Structure 1
Amino acid sequence: MSAAAKPVWFGILLLPNFTLTAFSGLVDMLRLASDEGDNSRPVRCCWSLIGDAKRPVRASCGIETTPWEDLGDPARFDYVVVVGGLLRKGSEPSQATLDFIQAVGKTKTTLVGICTGTFALMRAGVLAKHRICVSWFHYWDFLEQFPHVDHTRLVADRLFVMDDRRITCSGGRASIDVAAAILKRHIDLSTVQKALRILLVDRADTINAPQPHPPGLEPSAHPIVKRAMLLMEQHVSKTLTLEEMAKKLNVSSRQFERVFKADTGRTPQAFARAMRLRVAAWTLLNTDKTISAVSSDCGFSDASHMGREFRQIYAVSPSTFRREKRMAGLDEVNYQEIFPNRTEFY
């Protein structure tokens, strides 16, 4: 795209308690790709912060940003980006915001949901029949808020999904990736790559790049098993019974246990136990939390309970595990090393 060509216009809509990283990654990618040198002029692309009222919107970290202009006519934008963040009372989009998103959906403007901005798009009814990318961390939150959504449309193992004029992104650093993917549609590749280098990003991850899995979460192709693993991870601090998990997954306890064991070789209870230990091991090595705090975070009844579980696998206490691994210089968990293939683990 030449400097004289029409710039690509982005309207950025920040929801209450939005994630600052997701917003800043997106807008800095637009800024750096828009102009030459260090001028930051909106030449190749332009952006505007829009809102249903010109009052400050607070990010989840407390920083406030004021919209530049009212929502107005959605057709003036090529892309409308909705950036979300925390899911809690007071973070919901206003009715005016939902009405605006609905209006965007009736135009040729492409809608982009970043982080939990995807929830707002879903609530506005503009994601019908589209595939939807959600963070693994918010996967079950999404199903609880929208229980009637077709589960096969949910994608929790990719950074972002581009489906016609709907783009959904898991959030965080992935906002840089999705911005790069959009800009490649309109701007020469060398300019986009230069912007990435300035941001100290070697390359933008592609649409097929996987989301990083949380500690202890193993990949599975079976939709029920995948959902069960995500459910276990989100409830790692409060163990769910087999019946509770089956109810949330809308299957019988017998069917759930049979499918899970056929796919993983383990019962759901054994897998959940393994996950708790893996998360506990990661926490011990990567934080300075006390043993009691780790045991509580990971769903053990107390530190003694976690200690007994730990000794069955490692033959050492959690405190010894932490001390020995740190003395050995292990600053990143390698599960193949720290979890020996022992039958008592299962």
Structure 2
Amino acid sequence: MADGHDKLMVALLAVPESTASTLYGMYDMLGSTGRDWELFVNGVPGEPLIHPMIVSADGRRIRSPSGLAIEPEYSLADCPDVDLVAVPDLMVAPDEDIAGRHPAEVAWLRERYASGALLATACTGSMILAEAGLLDGQDATVHWAYSDAMAARYPAVRVHRNRALVISGEGRLILGGGGTAWHDLALFLIARFLGVEEAMRVARLHLVDWHHIGQQPFAAFVCRRQTGDAVIADCQEWIAQHYDQDAPVAEMVRRSGLSERSFMRRFARATGMSPLEYVHTLRLEESKQLLETTDLSVEAVANEVGYEDASFFGRLFRRKVGITPTQYRRRFATLRKALAQQQGEQAPPSS
């Protein structure tokens, strides 16, 4: 948490092009975390876990493109230290160039990123990060209608038009692609900072379908390579390529040169998971991809990722993911095909 605060401090950056519905939607969803679940379950509001605040260049009222007034709480100069800055989507035309339009906001985002804040964007908000140069050499996403223009305008950015959520900058740049991606983005951020269970509570309260994109990228995110402990980072690098081997935890202990007890303690401190939990997470992530993209049987998928006992794999998958492998395939393989078809229909005709 930001210095001197026991809550997650989140700044929502407002500019004249900001969509009020996304800005205030994120404000309400983030602000409900920890508070509203207790109200509905026990009748008494809980302690809010997130303090969202709306900030703008000068702190003055902004008239959004729809005509609604946006009331910032802070100017950039007065904004307190925050853990996270979120940039909601912008109402601009795909071919509209925003270069040079927001110099104060661009400079402030650079400063916040340099000071350690995590930056997140919804849909076209990613263009402000691109304008700030923070996406140079990074993977990014944006609404499909803007992807070609963004790629042409910012050639140093690797734009992925088909991805709903992209995590870059060693986990400190998080971008949601679609127009309503802010739902999943907000849930993802809650999960990132406060845990999956807290995010699931918010999803239930707001009737948001978490499984559309939420759980998949979260699992991939928590398994990103850590750099704070070189010994553990080396083991993570190795396990990313060898998670399907027999006794992978024992091999990581051997590679580390540590005693088993010391290794277990340092691994948990670096990753937030035990080594075995980490291995299971990697295996389940790979199994999701195989279920989505191949016709392999569930038994074959289990074997591919390192489980000889398909029944154990099925039970583990259901416990961790919430649905069976077959249900997952039915849901997400179909969704993947539908998205691919939609993107193909939206692509310009080849000349």
TM-score by length of 2: 0.55
Equivalents in 1 of 2:19, 2:59: separation in Å? Answer: 19
Alignment CA distance shift 1:202-1:169 (3 Å): closer
2:44 paired with 1:44? no
Give yes or no for contact 1:17–1:91 (8 Å, CA) kept in 2.
no
Q: In structure 2, how many angstroms separate the alpha carbons of the residues matched to 1:60 and 1:42? A: 34
Q: Deviation per CA, 1:154-180, whole angstroms, max 9, x where unpaired?
A: 111122112221111124321111111
Are the counterparts in 1 of residues 183 and 208 from structure 2 also a CA contact under 8 Å? no
Aligned residue number for residue 105 of structure 1: 113
1:83-98 matches, cutoff 5 A: 83-88=88-93, 93-98=101-106
Partner of 1:26: 26
Are the counterparts in 2 of residues 74 and 107 from structure 1 also a CA contact under 8 Å?
no
Partner of 2:175: 168
Amino acid at match of 1:66: E
Matches within 5 A, 1:271-282: none
Deviation for aligned residue 1:94: 2.1
CA offset at residue 74 of structure 1? 7.0
| 3-state SS in 2 of match to 1:49 | strand
Alignment match, 2:235: none
The 1-side partners of 2:58 and 2:178 are apart by 25
Would the aligned equivalents of 2:87 and 2:120 in 1 still touch at CA under 8 Å? Answer: yes
SS at structure 1 position matched to 2:116: coil
Distance 1:70 1:41, change over 3 A: farther
- Correspondences of 1:248-259 after superposition (within 5 Å): none
Question: Does structure 1 conserve the Cα–Cα contact (< 8 Å) formed by 2:39 and 2:46?
Answer: no
Cα distance change on mapping 1:47 and 1:41 into 2, 3 Å: farther
Map 1:125-164 onto structure 2 (within 5 A): 125-146=133-154, 148-150=155-157, 153-163=158-168, 164=171
Aligned to 1:305: none
Structure 1 pair 48/185, CA: closer, same or farther in 2 (3 Å)?
Answer: same
Equivalent position amino acid for 1:18 in 2:
S
The whole-number CA distance in structure 2 between the counterparts of 1:43 and 1:60 is: 31
- Is the alpha carbon distance of 1:176 and 1:184 closer, same or farther for their aligned partners in structure 2, counting shifts above 3 Å? same
Which residue is equivalent to 1:9? 9
Q: Are the equivalent residues in 1 in contact too, given 2:61–2:71 (CA < 8 A)?
A: yes
- Higher Rg of the two aligned structures: 1
Once the two structures are superposed, residues 261-282 of structure 1 have per-residue CA deviations (whole angstroms, 9 ceiling, x without a partner) of xxxxxxx36xxxxxxxxxxxxx
1:215 positional shift? 7.5
| Aligned mates of 1:109, 1:96 — CA distance in 2 | 17
- 1:196 lines up with 2:196 in the alignment: no
Query: Which AA in structure 2 matches 1:218?
Result: G
Matched letter for residue 58 of structure 1: R
Q: Distance in 1 between matches of 2:187 and 2:208?
A: 11
Q: Does 1:122 align with 2:130?
A: yes
Q: Which has the higher contact order (CA 8 A, sep 6+)?
A: 1
Change (3 A) 1:101 1:74: farther
Q: Tell me if the contact between 1:15 and 1:83 (Cα under 8 Å) persists in the aligned partners.
A: no
- Tell me, what secondary structure is at the counterpart of 1:105? helix
Deviation of the 1:25 alpha carbon? 3.4
Gaps of 5+ in 2: 218-331
Q: What is the distance in 1 between the residues matched to 2:189 and 2:141?
A: 16
Query: How far apart are 1:149 and its partner, in Å?
Result: 2.4
TM-score (norm 1): 0.56
- Measured at CA, do residues 7 and 90 of structure 1 come closer, stay the same or move farther in structure 2, by a change above 3 Å? same
Misfit runs of 4+, over 6 Å: 38-42, 89-92, 209-212
How much has 1:78 moved relative to structure 2? 0.4
The two structures, once aligned, show a CA RMSD in angstroms of 3.1
Larger mean CA deviation between 23-32 and 59-68 belongs to 23-32
Q: Secondary structure at the match of 1:67?
A: coil
Matched position secondary structure for 1:86: coil
**Do the aligned partners of residues 217 and 178 (structure 1) sit closer, same or farther apart at CA in structure 2, a change above 3 Å counting?**
closer
Specify the alignment match of 1:178 in structure 2: 185
